[in-house]
Structure 1
């Protein structure tokens, strides 16, 4: 029994470890290994009394901190995207310390200029003076201490921009999840309250009686209804309401499951809308699940828009659609209103896509997207968001 439990719980722990950002964690470990190799190679080329050795010692400390953040057995916390970003901060610090170690021998940094310039171009616009300084340094035949300082400043600025992009993506995901959770609680609360008090705000309509119902009442006058309308609710219908009071007839026909059925219909429609929206999602190389959060937001939103839309119809807000004829029509309109949550969430989708575009990654940019430095004036987040729409 103990061996079986260890085996299965071990698999569960492995799944828990890999469930979110395991691949990106491995990429981070590989980058730490490469950076450590560069630090060791640089340390071996320096004299014992060189001031750069102290910088390399600090770089090793930063690499050790980054490695611990990526080793989830060290802190026993969930492998969230924040650990990847924190590890990247320490890796960036190690890279800056490594670059500063070239102050004693500026010429030795020249083979690394293309990769450093690529990092700068990735995050700084072509109008940025720090980027221009690095581009000018690359054209020099000989390098000095001032050139190394300019390279360091440019790389540090690029890393700061990259960090802000990652933090903005993480903040956006957290906000979307909080809003989705709030909407889910709101939808569940509405379903629970309507089940406890089904007669408070019934989702019922009073269409005119059909010709068949009128003919049947004409044949049996003693059983005729005092009103000339039917009562139609999501899960029940009364073709012959017994009371002349509309509210009393609604209360007698309404059921506690009406709101729940309508919310489920809206939830299903929102799920279909989320599946349809997948065709526009390219995915992300970041450790933050922006597309998943956007899809999750649509589900409770669909349940709420289904209820809200039917309440507007019941109040006569939509001309000509104030009296639905059957329960099937009510459910059909609930599906339509549930799918219509796209009218509200599409703005969040656009912002989410813009956030993903702002986060630079190792891959190519999406089709039609331009990086910040591709045009003389760069491209602002607003222009990228407009291009996506």
Structure 2
């Protein structure tokens, strides 16, 4: 009985002590980036005796530096319109919720913060929160540093980053964006927020070797995940065949056939096959280089294999083209055609030369005739002038010696000739 009574008294004393204590619940430290805001999750308890004193009007104050007035600065007071920094009291103080947000946090506002309540009583809580303002965003965290999957398998990657202020949340982006993205804002039991982004895609061989990064961005800052996620995709071979041969293919020609395969891991075996008239035979060679003969006619293909499967290439057909007399006739016809074209070209050139020579000769003859006509006119003028001048001289002499001339002429010549001469003069 004594021990039972003592236990009851001790329990009552503990309950009374708890109800007489001020306490506050908030993170011990928070971090935000320069120029951004910060959310302070906050809740408190007061002694039971002051329950009735928690009433309107009520104010919440965030004090920096010290719990006391000396050496401290009231950064934000919910009852004032003008404060050193902008803030907002999100919680209901009457419900003992002091959750607050402080905006435009600069580096100088890093420090120790205390919460103070002023209502029917005034009290500054003893437990502070350490707020750090940094210049660089925290690096987002990837769920996987390396992923190795088989082709056509769905891959899911998660990137997370702390959110110091959900009122101004950052963005999470993926590089490269290989599929669908789902983004959520989550909160934990302490009231802190985390941004989560999930990338989902179906793996293919084109994704092999990709390095996937997660990027955290705000209006003023950005940060990239420290370690990108390396993607390894495992897949069966994709086989291709290539033939190096003359066209047309004659008997005796050299033939080389290549087989290549894209595979991860590497191909462990390559096999060659020949198909002809419904029969398929394997060729025990790693590469195919041979001289074409009639017994090698057929369809050829290769098969590549690794631990994830095997695949046949497409088929290539090898068939001999027979030499025929038409080939010689075609060659002769082509040669004759070339000769005819050459002769026609020569004849055309000679014809053009003849035409040019003819035009030149005609032009020269025309010019010579024109010049000769001009010279004849000039000669006639000169002759006429000479004749007239001779007649004038003759008349002058006749006038001076007319008697003598007439007598002389009449004596020496017959009458008929004298008459002719006189008429000429």
Report the TM-score when normalising by structure 2.
Answer: 0.21
More strand by share: 2
TM-score (norm 1): 0.22
Higher relative contact order (CA 8 A, sep 6+): 1
Specify which structure has the higher proportion of helix: 1
